[in-house]
Chain A
Amino acid sequence: MGLLAQLARGLVRGADRMSPFTSKRGPRSHNKGRGAKKLGVLTSSKKFLLVKEMVPQFVVPDLAGFKLKPYVSYRAPEGSEPPLTAKLLFSEVVAPRIEKDVKEGAFDPNDLQKYGFEPTQEGKLFQLFPKNYVR
């Protein structure tokens, strides 16, 4: 059996060179982080200024009377809902309103804002394109 096969057999001939060199390895002077984001700015006098807006805050709703639990019973049948597409959303939310207005005769093609049409994403906190929120 060749050298490569013997190495693969049980790492007999030395340390594992391919494993990542994390902060858990190396001497005391080896100090590296694990990829956490910096929540502020480092000034010229090497002082770190925390930016409070960058600190994530959890918005947790009150879960009193919430019926869903961590696990689902085995008796529940398998299946899924149809995926929500833009077409489905439009047909469920906007289309009934437009139909009602057309039947009453109050439909105005120049005023689509009342059905949820947004001509620009400027000025919005959560812009859809380019998407500036995580979820």
Chain B
Amino acid sequence: MRVSALLGLAARTKLPSGYRHGTWRPGTGPEQRKNPPGQRRNKVFVEPVGRDEWKVFCGDTVQVLAGKDAGKQALVTQVVRARNWVVVEGLNTHYRYINRLAKFSGTYIASEAPLLLSQVALVDPEDRKPTEVQWRYTEEGERVRVSLRTGRIIPLPLRQRRDGVVPEQWIDGPKDTSVEDALEKTYLPSLRTFEEEIMDAAGIVETRRARKSYWY
């Protein structure tokens, strides 16, 4: 019983205070080597952007405003909100060796460096020029991003699942309940408890009663 309690607590691990976020996901091997427990690094100061004020998501097209690749547009592949970072595909790259072995010097690849939120601007879909964006509400009450220059709505990018499953194209396996069976309402409310209903269904008759006991 204590084991299960420990397992339940470990499901939601909190990051230590003063944790320095990198581009790696917490829990992976490279991240654990870079940020071992008990490490204390100098604090990184980040411009506070509220949770509801964040405008850039994975899959958005953005234009880089500063740096080596200023003026170019590309898709966002990764977002690290804790440091106001946006990693854009193929831009702001430096080169490094990967899969280095003792004899083999490794593959030379281009790896993208993260850009700050202030160095990046969302792109208007029809104009294809960078704009300032605000969160506003439509008449139906939906929260959307509106570009201030043109007034057009920038739709949210399609959120893909991390396991790569596309629900609309999913084919049920032998252990999957079909949609109709899952949505079928078979519950009949009754005043009998679950145990009493099972006893009625199985034909179990129990005439003995528990001895009266007291606790304080």
Residues of A that sit less than 8 Å from B by CB: 4-5, 8-10, 20, 34-35, 59, 61, 67-77, 81, 84, 88-89, 92-94, 116, 123, 125-126, 128, 132-133, 135
Of B92-100, B122-130, B181-189, the one contacting chain A is B181-189
Interface pair B182/A76, CB less than 8 Å apart:
yes
3 tightest Cβ-Cβ pairs between the two chains A and B:
A8-B38, A74-B170, A116-B191
Q: Which residues of B contact A74 (CB under 8 A)?
A: 165, 167, 170
- Whether B47 is near chain A, meaning CB under 8 Å from some CB there, is no
Name the A residues within 8 Å of B184 (CB-CB): 67
Quick check: A71 and B177 within 8 Å, CB to CB? yes
18 CB < 8 A contacts A-B: A9-B36, A9-B38, A20-B2, A35-B2, A69-B177, A69-B181, A71-B175, A71-B176, A73-B170, A75-B168, A75-B170, A81-B185, A92-B189, A125-B209, A126-B193, A132-B210, A135-B193, A135-B194
B179 at the interface (CB under 8 A from A): yes
Give the distance to chain A from B68, nearest Cβ to Cβ, in Å.
Answer: 37
Known contacts A76-B179, A94-B191; can you find 9 more A-B pairs with CB under 8 A?
Answer: A5-B40, A9-B38, A34-B3, A59-B204, A67-B184, A69-B176, A73-B172, A74-B167, A93-B191
Question: Does B49 sit at the interface, judged by CB under 8 A?
Answer: no
Q: What is the count of residue pairs linking A and B with beta-carbon distances less than 8 angstroms?
A: 85
Within 8 A of A (CB), among B164-216: 165, 167-168, 170, 172-179, 181-185, 187, 189-191, 193-196, 198, 201-202, 204, 206, 209-210
Please give, as numbers and ranges, the residues of chain A lying within 8 Å of B202 by CB-CB distance.
59, 61
Are B38 and A93 touching (Cβ within 8 A)? Answer: no
**Interface band, chain B:** 35 or more
Given A35-B1, A59-B202, A126–B189 Cβ distance below 8 Å?
no
Bitwise, B1-44 to A at CB < 8 A (1) or not (0) is: 11100000000000000000000000000000000111010000
CA distance A115 to B81 in the complex (A): 58
CB distance from B35 to the nearest CB of A (A): 12
Q: Which residues from chain B contact A73 at a C-beta distance below 8 Å? A: 170, 172, 176-179, 182
A123 to B204, CA, bound (A): 17
Query: Given contacts A9-B38, A35-B1, are A135 and B182 in contact (CB under 8 A)?
Result: no
B212 smallest CB distance to A (angstroms):
9
Decide if B190 touches A8 in the complex (CB within 8 Å).
Answer: no
Complex interface: chain B residues within 8 A of A77 (CB): 183
Question: Which chain A positions have C-beta within 8 A of B170?
Answer: 73-75
Report B36-69 residues with CB < 8 Å from chain A CB.
36-38, 40
B189 surroundings in chain A (CB, below 8 A): 84, 88-89, 92-93
